[in-house]
Structure 1
Amino acid sequence: MDVLDLSRWQFGITTVYHFLFVPLTIGLSVIVAGLQTAWHRTGKAGYLRLTRFWGRLFLINFAMGVVTGIVQEFQFGMNWSAYSRFVGDVFGAPLAMEGLLAFFLESTFLGLWIFGWDRLPRRVHLATIWLASAGTVTSAYFILAANSWMQHPVGYRLNPVTGRAELTDIWAVLTNSTTLATFPHVVFGAFVAAGAFVAGVSAWFLLRRREVELFRTSARMAFAVTLLAAVGVSVSGHWQAQIMTRQQPMKMAAAEALWEDESSAGFSLFAVGDVENGRNHVSIQIPYGLSFLATNTLDGTVQGVNDIQARYERLYGPGDYRPVIGLAYWSFRLMIGFGMLAALLALGGLWLTRRGRLPKRAAFYRLAIAGIGLPFLANTLGWIFTEMGRQPWTVFGLMRTQAAVSPGVNIAEVAATLAGFTVVYAVLAAIEVRLLIKFIRVSPQDEAEPADAVPVLSY
């Protein structure tokens, strides 16, 4: 390995690790706000207990997300200074807006929510959690706008004197078509993750017959959130696939192991390919599926890897413009597969808990607990596909990854920081899991209830 390889590994590890916390933070913030709203409107103590119970877990996850996110941003100056110099005028704008506007909104009102339970009027206190949640979602938008610019650069000009990209239209950056497609897909994915988490923890209590009435309500709510969000992921993913086909056709071709331009192309279910010679030995497909996914028509033409490679060589010069085909192909499939499993589990949960019922077999509760990991796997694989499928570009069409790495960093320095981050993140992971387990085991019945809360549950 060289500096480039190790720098990519380091950024990939820290990014994937950080994104384990992001979707759960986004989804839980809205779920907690919704539960507090239900308590505010009904006065039922059960909603208050759930608000505080899930609120504790949300805060633990939020704190870990902040810590890991700060480390991630430092890498732009440490390992990727050439990239930062080239795109800093553009890439820094949405990140600065995220820090000055969204994160400020998020952290300020979250602090008011934490310390304002007995100090603020109930309506004002309710507003603080909604504003904190809005800050969380807005923060995601600005960060996705920055990432989307790397996928589809807009609103800039290249300065021939400095050799840098300069911002000319911030509105174009913030309304990038890639951002508008990616944002709902990521947010819906966050709700799938949060819903599966709430459902799995609720199943843990139901398996042990603790607070059955309370956590049956929590589980049904979580199953509904997961299922509805999964539908949103599917619809937004279809839109995103069409955008990707137009802007990064090589990524879509790699995701389907499609080697030649093809009309009425089928969606690949399983393929065994020969990357060196650019062909498949085995290909099992759903007829017309890829054309519909990519173009919204059954007879649409989808570009293939070999033909795109030839076009890119004429456009950008000699080079290999293919990502790692096998990685793109299988990460795309596994992303979809894990997401579908989470949706099916949620659908089964809603059916088994209908009309006041509970699943009779312990196996379903265990499946729900294990199912917590499904959306996180789907989200992780989705980002691996998104970023690895863009290779060999850091900024598509403008800057290749090999030109983005810091020129003054040596392999020993990158290896040392990679090892250090890995150890630190392992410790943080242990702390996160231990804290979550500790506070999950604390029953909501231990929560103090205000005098005006209705003590009787009726769901």
Structure 2
Amino acid sequence: MDATDLARLQFASTSIYHFIFVPVTIGLAFLLAILHTRWYRSREVRHEKLTRFFGTLLLINVAIGVVTGLVQEFQFGMNWSAYSLFVGDVFGAPLAMEGLAAFFLESTFLGLWVFGWKVLPRGIHLLSAWLVAAGAMLSAAFIMAANSWMQHPVGYTTDPDTGRPVLSSIGDLFTNEVFIWGYIHVILAALVTGSVVMLAVSAWQLRRGHEAFKTSALLSLVVLLPASLLQLGVGSHLGVIETTYQPMKIAAAEGQWETCQPCSFSLLQIGGFTSSDETPTKILEVPHLLSILATGTWDGQVVGLNELQAQEEAQYGPGNYVPDVRLQYWSMRIMAYLGTLFFLLSLWGVWHAVRRKLPASRVFLFVTIWSVPFLFLMNTAGWMLTESGRQPWIVQGLMKTTDGVSATVSSTEVIISLIAFYALFIFLLVIDVVLMLRFARRDLDAPGEEVPADDRDAPVLTY
């Protein structure tokens, strides 16, 4: 592997690792704000204890996630200086907004929420919880705006002196179709992630006989069911968007070498992932489904990899413009199949809840606990589908990945830093898993003092 391949491996590793924590943070922050709201309105000690309990899990995840995010950002200047120089006049605006607005909003009010239990008036304390959730979602918006520009560059002009893109319309950046639907997709994935994590923790506690966690289990199901259902629909429409702007990605995700109309979708195939083996053995084909997913129509056309390769060679010159088909094919299916399973899991849980048998449904609770690893597998597959499918472009149509790497970084230097990062990641992962399991298994804290009903509108400084 040369320096470019090693730099790609390093950035892929840090991105995937960081994305383990991002959806948990966004999803749990939103659910925590709802729990805090229920406590604010009911003044029940049970709700206060649950808010504190899941707040601790959120803080652990935020602490580890911030560290992994900082490691990722350093690579822009170290391994990808040519890329950073090329996109700096475009990325400067959304990344500055993320750092100066969203991140500080989230971190400031997270501090107020953590240390404000016995200091802040109850309404201000509740507002802090919601602003933490808003900050997390806003941060994701700015990052996704920058990432979506790499998928479909808009709102820029080319500097005639430097040949680099310069942002000309911030409005175009945030109305980019790829950004809008990609951002909704990420937020829904975060809500699914946070809901499943909360549901799994609640399931473990319910199996131990802690009835108080029925409240958090029901809350997570109320969020999980619509979020997982909407996620399937948004993901399907995102396929249509990507067919419009990145047809190579969609063709690779199906292993479709030749143009078809209408197009069937293979639930499973053997072979057909390379140009020397373009005829796979397809198992369980669903007629017209690929046309629906890729074009939104019953008999829509999907342009094949061979034709797209010829088009890009004519436009950009000789080269291989086909991404890793095997990686795209399986990433897409892992994401879609697991997303469907989590929707079915939510239906199963709601069925038990409606029958008022959720705490006694031992099989459902057991399955929910062990579903968490598949949750992160689903998120990772979706991220790999998005980023790998753009290759060989680092910025679609403007800059290839091989042109973005730092010219002065050697393979040896990248290997040394890669080993150091892996050691750090393993260390942080062990800490995170140990802390999350330890605090997820503990009993609820001793109850605080309840405020009399006639004092609900007064500032409370004794919580």
Quick check: TM above 0.5? yes
Aligned to 2:267: 269
8 A Cα contact 1:257 1:273, kept in partner? no
How far did residue 451 of structure 1 move? Answer: 4.0
How far did residue 160 of structure 1 move? Answer: 3.1
Q: Any residues of structure 2 matched to 1:1-400 within 5 Å, and which?
A: 1-209=1-209, 211-212=210-211, 214-274=212-272, 275-277=274-276, 279-284=278-283, 285-358=285-358, 360=360, 362-400=362-400
Q: What is the DSSP-based 3-state SS (H/G/I as helix, E as strand, rest coil) of the residue aligned with 1:319?
A: coil
How far did residue 205 of structure 1 move? Answer: 0.8
Aligned to 1:424: 424
Q: Cα deviation per residue 1:130-166 (whole Å; 9 max; x = unaligned)?
A: 1111111000000000100100011112223212221
In structure 2, stretches of 5+ residues that fail to align are 455-463
8 A Cα contact 2:44 2:450, kept in partner? no
8 A Cα contact 2:199 2:368, kept in partner? yes
8 A Cα contact 2:45 2:448, kept in partner? no
Aligned to 2:402: 402
Q: Cα deviation per residue 1:292-339 (whole Å; 9 max; x = unaligned)?
A: 112111011111111111111111111110001011001100111111
Write the distance in 2 (CA, Å) between the matches of 1:63 and 1:391: 32
Write the distance in 2 (CA, Å) between the matches of 1:42 and 1:306: 62
Q: Cα deviation per residue 1:66-97 (whole Å; 9 max; x = unaligned)?
A: 11111111100000001001111102221111
Q: What is the DSSP-based 3-state SS (H/G/I as helix, E as strand, rest coil) of the residue aligned with 2:153?
A: coil
Write the distance in 1 (CA, Å) between the matches of 2:311 and 2:412: 38
Q: What is the DSSP-based 3-state SS (H/G/I as helix, E as strand, rest coil) of the residue aligned with 1:356?
A: coil
Q: What is the DSSP-based 3-state SS (H/G/I as helix, E as strand, rest coil) of the residue aligned with 1:85?
A: helix
Q: What is the DSSP-based 3-state SS (H/G/I as helix, E as strand, rest coil) of the residue aligned with 1:157?
A: strand
How far did residue 361 of structure 1 move? Answer: 5.7
How far did residue 282 of structure 1 move? Answer: 1.4
Amino acid at match of 1:239: H
Write the distance in 1 (CA, Å) between the matches of 2:171 and 2:104: 21
Amino acid at match of 1:324: D
Q: What is the DSSP-based 3-state SS (H/G/I as helix, E as strand, rest coil) of the residue aligned with 1:413?
A: helix
1:119–1:328 Cα change, 3 Å: same
Q: CA RMSD in A?
A: 1.5
Report the count of equivalent residues. 452
8 A Cα contact 2:36 2:47, kept in partner? yes
Write the distance in 1 (CA, Å) between the matches of 2:360 and 2:442: 25
Q: Structure 1 length as normaliser, TM-score?
A: 0.95
Q: Cα deviation per residue 1:47-84 (whole Å; 9 max; x = unaligned)?
A: 11111111111111111111111111110000000100
Write the distance in 2 (CA, Å) between the matches of 1:83 and 1:339: 34
How far did residue 225 of structure 1 move? Answer: 1.6
Q: What is the DSSP-based 3-state SS (H/G/I as helix, E as strand, rest coil) of the residue aligned with 2:268?
A: strand
8 A Cα contact 1:4 1:402, kept in partner? yes
Q: Structure 2 length as normaliser, TM-score?
A: 0.95
Identity of aligned residues (%): 49
Amino acid at match of 1:152: H
Amino acid at match of 1:265: C
Amino acid at match of 1:273: G
Q: What is the DSSP-based 3-state SS (H/G/I as helix, E as strand, rest coil) of the residue aligned with 2:118?
A: coil
1:442–1:10 Cα change, 3 Å: same
How far did residue 343 of structure 1 move? Answer: 1.7
How far did residue 277 of structure 1 move? Answer: 3.4
Write the distance in 2 (CA, Å) between the matches of 1:323 and 1:380: 18
Q: What is the DSSP-based 3-state SS (H/G/I as helix, E as strand, rest coil) of the residue aligned with 1:162?
A: coil
In structure 1, stretches of 5+ residues that fail to align are 455-459
Q: What is the DSSP-based 3-state SS (H/G/I as helix, E as strand, rest coil) of the residue aligned with 2:99?
A: helix
